[in-house]
Amino acid sequence: METAEEQILESVVIRFAGDSGDGMQLTGTQFTNAAALYGNDLATFPDFPAEIRAPQGTLAGVSGYQIHFGSKKINTPGDTCDVLVAMNVAALKANIGQLKIGGTIIVNSDGFDSKNLRLANVPEDQNPLENGSLDKYEVKKLDITKITRLALADSGMGTKEIDRSKNMFVLGLIYWMYNRSIDKSIEFINSKFKNKPQIAEANIKLLKAGYHYGETTETFNARYEVKPAEMAPGVYRSIMGNEALAYGLVAASVKSKLPIFLGTYPITPASDILHELSKYKNFGVRTFQAEDEIAGVCAAIGASYGGSIGITTSSGPGIALKMEAIGLATVLELPLVICNIQRGGPSTGLPTKTEQSDLMQALYGRNGECPVPVIAAATPSDCFNMAFEAVRIAAQHMIPVFLLSDGYIANGAEPWCFPQSKDLPEIKIDFAKPTEEKFMPYARDEKLSRPWAVPGTPGLEHRIGGLEKQHITGNISYDAHNHEFMVKLRQEKVDKLADDIPLQTIDNGAEKADVLIIGWGSTYGAIKTAVNALLLDGKSVAHAHIRYLNPLPKNIGELLKNYNKVLVAEMNNGQLIKILRDRFLVDAIGLNKIQGQPFTTEEIKNKLSEILG
């Protein structure tokens, strides 16, 4: 046996692709954990169909998971991949476009039989494994199905069950290729199938078989080493956006001593926040799976009225349903956090694909003049910070706050140098206390925020409601001038919040330059990588990423003046750009992508280069 040659690589992108039943998401996350624990920096991109089990073997059923890991700073899951694992023809067909020329394809040849060809709409005589169309790549053809069946022939398991373990073989093989230990995955399998030792054993056997296959066969003549990345000292973990968001909410609850009440209704890609929070009852977290989104947000409002921090989570169609209640919370001036994990729209749209098309909805999507603060998370780990911020703003300013995330960062993972509880700021909250004077529910402090008087407090009995309020007393008022005054007051309250949020910083590049690219939300990684590359080329470009979308940081107008051109990159048809043009009369240029997929670094680089001339 010859030992394979070892090569050192700075970074690698692997894309696992197969049928939705092939376990590619699990394979991907297992490899991600291993890479993270090894000390690589990384970013991931799960890309799966909306159907749980779309017809097997078809293009619609292809599920993919991309991981970009390296010994350098990694900001995106990578535009193109170095290695493509394709479990069948459909997976190859759907993903070959993303593979670099000269890249490696590991295919399960059993997934290329005539049935699979037919299901993927590939004519029999054009089997890509035979027609030379893959000549530009290095193709490793393995009959993974056969190997799996042979390895588990004595397991006593049925063929269907056996076939389901194929992904473990792939995982073992990839571990071998990148010199990673299989131990953590063995631990994982043992705990996952604690009560099914037979299945655990079968999976471990295949994992090892995959690893040994790499070692003993000569299919692979090279093994790769991707060294740990240089990262700031600290303790790290791997984190996904929705997880981070849930932790951020819990952290804010601990730091404000306000119990969380989550009222919600399941929807992709927001459900995982419900799943997470429902586990944390020992933090006093109450989760309520309501009968619909309206009930979810309304229950959260009821809980806020009672002194909890009311939270509601959803996506596109669900957010649309909540709007009337968000208007109510705006008039009641109660804290509420609305987390919108955006997905492709309109209507049911693209449930599992990403988009940033709900910014205008968050800003303006209610009846009447109904301004609310809107903030957005930029990366998976940033979901923690912004969730914490959302609670802080909502509770201290007595106002509903929109927190925008999206499917891309919700499900994407990255290493996170997580904070210690002691380093997080306290969120100081004062409920109204009984007074001798007559209680005025709509009296205001310097933030223009009204008192939070919770039921049960003697002497503060008062009524609130959705009808227009008289200033200070909170009594119903249809007075013309009072209404105009209150509309302007509610706006001023949001505007004033600008005093309580950080100023806008330039993330990358100089304070004055030729072109400024502005992004918000999940486009951060792609913009960061593109601007890094251009700066290395000596280009005059800078990047600002807006996390506070309403109100905008006070210095944005000034900051824009330092650049000759402003480019606004968004995964929508141009929404933030309209706000910036409206507010600052800046002749901004738009870069828009509405394909349910995040920007590639290349797309951003190309546009910037075009503008830079």
Query: Which parts of 368-387 interact with another protein (CB under 8 A)?
Result: 384
Indicate whether 464 belongs to the interface with another protein (CB under 8 A).
yes
Contacts of 446 (CB under 8 A, 6+ apart): none
Least Å from the CB of residue 335 to another protein: 13
For residue 184, the one-letter residue type is K
Contacts of 28 (CB under 8 A, 6+ apart): 16, 44, 46, 65, 66, 67
What character string, x for contact with another protein (CB under 8 A) and - otherwise, covers 400-439?
A: -----------------xxxxx------------------
Least Å from the CB of residue 468 to another protein: 12
Count CB neighbours of 450 within 10 A.
24
Would you say 349 or 459 has its CB closer to another protein? 459
Least Å from the CB of residue 184 to another protein: 8
Which one of residues 112, 211, 213, 288 is an interface residue with another protein (CB under 8 A)?
288
Size of the site for another protein (CB under 8 A): 74
Residues 181-220 within binding reach of another protein (CB under 8 A): 184
Residues 39-98 within binding reach of another protein (CB under 8 A): 39
d(CA 385, CA 61): 35
Which one of residues 6, 292, 511, 537 is an interface residue with another protein (CB under 8 A)?
292
Indicate whether 308 belongs to the interface with another protein (CB under 8 A).
yes
d(CA 307, CA 454): 6
Indicate whether 465 belongs to the interface with another protein (CB under 8 A).
yes
Q: Which two three-digit tokens encode residue 385?
A: 């910070």
Indicate whether 394 belongs to the interface with another protein (CB under 8 A).
no
Least Å from the CB of residue 522 to another protein: 22
Indicate whether 471 belongs to the interface with another protein (CB under 8 A).
no
Contacts of 253 (CB under 8 A, 6+ apart): 259, 260, 283, 284, 285, 309, 391
Indicate whether 485 belongs to the interface with another protein (CB under 8 A).
no
Indicate whether 300 belongs to the interface with another protein (CB under 8 A).
yes
Which one of residues 103, 214, 307, 335 is an interface residue with another protein (CB under 8 A)?
307
d(CA 152, CA 479): 79
State the Rg of the chain over Cα. Answer: 27
DSSP-derived 3-state class of residue 452: strand
Least Å from the CB of residue 416 to another protein: 9
**β-sheet bridge partners, residue 452:** 431
**Residues recorded for the chain:** 613
Burial 253-285 (b: 16+ CB within 10 A, else e): bbbbebebbbbbbbbbbbbbbbebbbebeeeeb
Would you say 222 or 476 has its CB closer to another protein? 476
E-only strand ranges, 476-530: 513-520
Least Å from the CB of residue 327 to another protein: 8
d(CA 364, CA 91): 41
Residues 227-286 within binding reach of another protein (CB under 8 A): 228, 231-239, 247, 250-251, 254, 259, 261, 263, 280-286
Least Å from the CB of residue 419 to another protein: 7
Least Å from the CB of residue 259 to another protein: 7
Interface region with another protein, contact rule CB under 8 A, candidates 212-220, 450-458, 497-505, 568-576: 450-458
Q: Report the DSSP pairing between strands 548-550 and 374-376.
A: antiparallel
